[in-house]
Chain A
């Protein structure tokens, strides 16, 4: 295998296509390991990984931890539901402590955009961004891309539309950057108040009706409405949102094609997506979870074994 050009995975913005292809292609190897009776390889033996989660997370943290353990890394978990600043210790002090503990890889989630980059510039450890504010969530986008590729064989020329609260979504941003680099056409769909300023200048199509978005798309990636991020001020009610933008069987049945349906989870059934669709044959929501472990193994392997 060749190696990555990037020392950290802070986001997909500006990451060259060769790196993305290397990660996506490596994932098959790790998917194969996950199908073995003994799902463990010694690849990262002796490597210490800390999962530094300043923001609540269950699935992403578990997915990373499984990936780390299956690569035989030594794993330490650090969780703080509130920010370090509010606890009195600054992020920089936290970073210096980690540095002193001789950690090789830091997997980090934080509510503040740019905070992973901030620490990566002040530590010698390798950093993997597990979500920073509304900025990026690169491994989620990578697992989304793998999941699409498994169904279609390629991302080139596909019409992929992200539906929901784009403005507050790090998943949307990482998907936009990664998919555009891989040659896909990217659309977003949601009420105008949830579309960030001048987004179309990134080369993204903007839809404000779900019908137009579904008509255009080969793949849709449905986002959860993030009520905890004050999205509540941007739209009138969940009921109206569901009526106007919910992905329903009835809406899909009007199409003369089968869409591939992704959702990064957790799902709000009956809001952004109907149960029948989430559990239906077009949904790749559960394969996404499996792919998540494999892609994180691939990224940990590629970052962890990359020569200085």
Chain B
């Protein structure tokens, strides 16, 4: 019997209403006891003085590149990065090769992730081959275990297909996760359209590309009664639209990526392709709007859009570089630094954005830190000052704009599936 005794941590679980300095005894992956001054001579004891134990964090938007592009990331390296970043669960996007549009690929991913400390939940494609032409076998994918549907990386632009997909997803009680982008407005773009794009002469991506699609999708969601999740929200306009839709009672949720509440498109001036992602970095007004959306609940989740690319792919001319950055190992640090320290979110709110809400959106079981429950935990050090060093990433890829940035607060470990992973 494997036993772990976690000592001296502050245990915070908003769902159970728990916020107390306690010890926590885990036996065979289950929380056996929570209490003061526990001792167990057979248990591996971990001193978590100064740390916080929360319900396990869930990143509902990652790209693990397997099958097909394992030189960027594979499920094992992605899981290692997730664990190092404090996540016990991730939802991986279906833009693999082949894409996750059959039960066979779903089973492949589950097989690869079996026995690992991070739960990997596949998201199924909305359309066959992610081509936007005909609907994927959504019932078959649901039966195989997907937690949602998305063509992420590409939008569902065909309005008839969008309606059908919303109807199917709602029938299956799973979210339709939209990558909101207008392909005509987007075409060829490399950065946000702003004074910066004008000065640099880089092909611009107008905010209309996101705003117009979100507005349209919300009309469809209302009409169909669908269940819609907006991926990587990045604009003032999208946040306003989602806020209004929620007020009207629509079943709408949204996520924000750490780079969209941290950086503006001013950083593109250096032409470093590690600041190139899709949606692109926007303006200071948008960054503020993302923080406000997180604070007032318009944005339900923080999700990284972890998008690994090899150095040789990314270190090219800005316009030729692929979109995307890695995010798993910096997300919690950025959220503490930009959101908690600056008073945008309380610690319980941060836990909602990283754990409660993304799990609810994906219909994953609710986590509670209570005796008899499975131990699915994230350990945080809220006060530690640290400097991001991409060379230490567990991810196979290093494409981050945050290398060298000093952050306050980070995840220091997880416990899940009976396994303890410390990353201090």
A: residues with CB less than 8 A from B are 13, 83, 85, 90-92, 110, 112-115, 117-118, 132-136, 170, 173, 196-199, 201-202, 230
Closest to B184 in A: A233
B317 adjacent to A13 (CB under 8 Å): no
Partner of A90, one of B201, B202, B312: B312
Which residues of chain B have C-beta atoms less than 8 A from A112's C-beta? 317-320
Q: B198 and A202: CB pair below 8 A?
A: yes
> CA–CA, A223 to B109, complex, Å?
55
B271 near A90: Cβ-Cβ < 8 Å: no
Besides A90-B312, A115-B318, 5 more A-B contacts (Cβ < 8 Å) are A110-B317, A118-B317, A133-B319, A201-B195, A202-B195
- Give the docked Cα–Cα distance between A83 and B194 (Å): 27
Q: Does B94 contact A (CB under 8 A)?
A: no
| Least CB distance, B196 to chain A, in whole angstroms | 10
Is B316 on the interface with A (CB-CB < 8 A)? Answer: yes
Contact of A83 among B198, B271, B320 (CB under 8 A): B320
B317-361 interface with A by 8 A CB criterion:
317-320
B200 within 8 A of A: yes
CB atoms of B319 and A197 under 8 A apart: no
B positions within 8 Å CB-CB of A: 188, 193-195, 197-204, 206, 271, 312, 315-320
The interface residues of chain B lying within 8 Å CB-to-CB of A202 are 195, 198-199
Select one of A90, A110, A113, A118 contacting B200, CB under 8 A.
A113
Question: Does the CB pair A197–B317 fall under 8 Å?
Answer: no
User: Which A residues are in CB contact (< 8 Å) with B200?
Assistant: 113-114, 135
Complex CA gap A134/B200 in Å reads 8
**Given A112-B320, A113-B271, A197-B204, CB of A90 within 8 Å of CB of B315:** yes
A-B contact pairs, 14 of them (CB 8 A): A83-B317, A85-B316, A91-B316, A92-B315, A112-B318, A114-B200, A115-B271, A118-B271, A118-B318, A134-B201, A170-B201, A173-B201, A198-B194, A202-B198
User: A199, B316: Cβ atoms under 8 Å?
Assistant: no
Instruction: From the candidates B193, B312, B315, name the one contacting A197 in the complex (CB within 8 A).
Output: B193
Chain A residues lying within 8 Å of B188, measured Cβ to Cβ, are 230
Are B271 and A198 in contact, with the CB atoms below 8 A? no
For the complex, what is the distance from the CA of A134 to the CA of B203, rounded to whole Å? Answer: 8
- The verdict on A114 contacting B195 (CB below 8 Å), with A85-B317, A133-B319 known, is no
- Contact B315 A135, beta carbon cutoff 8 Å: no
Minimum Cβ distance to chain B for residue A98 (Å): 16
| Bound CA–CA A197/B202 (angstroms) | 12
Query: Which residue of chain B has the shortest Cβ distance to A86 in the bound complex?
Result: B320
Q: How far is the CA of A113 from the CA of B200 in the complex (A)?
A: 7
Knowing A136-B201, A170-B201 are in contact, say whether A91-B317 is a contact too (CB < 8 A). yes
Give the nearest-CB partner of B313 in chain A.
A90
- By beta carbon, the residue of chain A nearest B312 is A90
> Would A92 and B201 count as touching, CB distance under 8 A?
no
Question: From residue A68, how far is it (CB to closest CB) to chain B in Å?
Answer: 25
Evaluate contact between A197 and B199: CB separation under 8 angstroms: no
Most buried by A among B197, B204, B315, B316: B316
Q: Smallest distance from the beta carbon of B310 to chain A beta carbons, Å?
A: 11
* Contact of B319 with A92 in the complex, beta carbons under 8 Å: no
Question: How many Å from the CB of B152 to the closest CB on chain A?
Answer: 25
B315: chain A residues within 8 A (beta carbon):
90, 92
Residue among A115, A136, A170 having the largest count of chain B Cβ atoms under 10 Å = A115
Partner of B198, one of A110, A118, A132, A199: A199
Residues of chain A contacted by B317 (CB below 8 angstroms): 83, 85, 91, 110, 112, 114-115, 118
| CB-based nearest A residue for B319 | A112
Query: CA separation between A133 and B319, bound complex, in Å?
Result: 10
Complex CA–CA separation, A125 to B194 (angstroms): 32
A132: nearest residue on chain B (CB-CB)? B201
Minimum CB–CB distance from A230 to chain B (whole Å) comes to 8
Q: Are A197 and B195 in contact (CB under 8 A)?
A: yes
Whole-angstrom distance between the alpha carbons of A98 and B263 in the complex? 34
Q: List chain B residues, Cβ under 8 A from A198.
A: 194-195, 198
CB-CB nearest 10 A-B residue pairs: A114-B271, A134-B201, A112-B317, A135-B201, A196-B198, A115-B317, A113-B201, A112-B319, A114-B318, A198-B195
Give the shortest distance, in Å, between A171 (CB) and chain B (any CB).
Answer: 11
User: Known: A113-B271, A118-B271. Is A92-B199 also a contact (CB below 8 A)?
Assistant: no
* Complex Cα gap A137–B414 (Å): 53
Q: Residue on A with the closest CB to B318? A: A114
What's the Cα separation between A90 and B320 when bound, in Å? 10
- Give bound CA distance, A187 to B72, whole Å: 47
- Distance from B184 Cβ to chain A, minimum over Cβ atoms (Å): 10
8 Å CB contact of A133 from B194, B195, B202, B206: B202
B267 CB to nearest chain A CB (Å): 13
A116 to chain B, nearest CB (A): 10
Residues of A within 8 A of B206 (CB): 197
A92 to B315, CA, bound (A): 7
Interchain CA distance A90-B273 in the complex, whole Å: 14
CA distance A196 to B317 in the complex (A): 22
- CB nearest neighbor in B for A204: B198
A135-B198 in contact given A112-B318, A114-B317, A118-B271 (Cβ < 8 Å):
no
User: Once bound together, how far apart are the Cα atoms of A199 and B206, in whole Å?
Assistant: 15
In the bound complex, CA of A114 to CA of B201 (Å): 9
Give the complex CA separation of A97 and B217 in angstroms: 50
Query: Please, how many angstroms separate the alpha-carbon atoms of A170 and B201 in the complex?
Result: 7
Cα distance, A110 to B320, chains bound together (Å)? 12
A91 CA / B197 CA spacing, docked (Å) = 22
When distances are taken between beta carbons in the complex, the residues of chain B under 8 Å from A83 are 317, 320
